[in-house]
Amino acid sequence: MTTRRYLSLIQQSVQKDGVTFKEIVPDYLYVAQKDNDSFLMHDVEIGLNNSASMKIAQSKSATYSVLAAHKVPAIEHVFLRNTLSRFATDDPIHQGRQWYSKWNQKVVVKPDTGAQGNHVYKIDVPEELDQKINTIFSLEYNVAISPFYEATYEYRIITLFQQPKLFIGKQRTTTWKHNLIGGAKPVAIAKPLQADLAVLAKKASTALQLDFCSIDILHTNNGLRVIEVNDQVMMDEYVKANPSVENEVAHVYREAILHRFHHYRPISSND
């Protein structure tokens, strides 16, 4: 059994259903087994999503393009190709400056395929724009540039087969970012707002054809907008900050894993 608390929570969620996990690489690679069925599990990824949709979700700019094509309200993300790429053609620094001017000289630059909020920079001083873009390029990433939206709250909605299953609210505190690991705090979400978030999350997961994912939604002055879609459902920081929600998180993963085995039945609250 894994020593990682979040991964352990996932594995324990289906213990009573006869699902076992055989280690290939400790805390990382497993074979999940039930009766005569099995599937490979990579970290917390159980394999419900198709590979094309996963690749799209891993790109901030590609995600925005798909959402925009389906008229889903989202934060604009524009792709800037790394100058070190053999496919580089246009001048990405010049492109970045153009978007910076268009978006009122307040933008965010980040790795297009980044995760966990690393190397994400808010730019409101023109001298920093070139520097931060080149910093990300030096890490061998392409860049996504987006307009900066002032927002106190961000929400994460977990969807399974396009149905919202769990709502997580985050309030920024000491920084402009909403990462729980960076100091943001979890907050409750009122029922009327949950209904609006559910509609947007369903539209986003349907557009991207993702069967198990999390949708990050920013509460801006211009309404609710999708800022990011995660093809991996990571709630470890949320569980650390709210130990009382472990049962809710376990319930969602139990349902997902049983779907993966094609042994899903509606789960009652007493199970």
Q: In angstroms, rounded to a whole number, what is the distance separating the alpha carbons of residues 5 and 189?
A: 26
Radius of gyration of the chain (CA): 20
Fold of 51-74+150-233: D-amino Acid Aminotransferase; Chain A, domain 1 (3.30.470)
Contact indicator for 41, 24 with CB cutoff of 8 Å: no
Give the type of residue at 224: L
Q: In angstroms, rounded to a whole number, what is the distance separating the alpha carbons of residues 137 and 129?
A: 12
pLDDT tens digit at each of 271 positions of the chain: 688 889 999 999 999 999 999 999 999 999 999 999 999 999 999 999 999 999 999 999 999 999 999 999 999 999 999 988 777 777 999 999 999 999 999 999 999 998 777 899 999 998 899 999 999 999 999 999 999 999 999 999 999 999 999 999 999 998 999 988 777 888 999 999 999 999 999 999 999 999 999 999 999 999 999 999 999 999 888 888 888 889 999 999 999 999 999 855 554 445 5
At 126, give phi and psi (nearest 5°).
Answer: -55, -30
Place of tokens 């809710």: 248
Domain boundaries, the chain: 5-47, 51-74+150-233, 78-147
- Tell which residue, 89, 75, 107, 82, has the closest CA to residue 229: 75
Level-2 CATH architecture, domain 78-147 = 2-Layer Sandwich (3.30)
Helix axes 5-12 and 246-260, enclosed angle (nearest 10): 60
Whole-model pTM?
A: 0.92
Q: In angstroms, rounded to a whole number, what is the distance separating the alpha carbons of residues 125 and 69?
A: 32
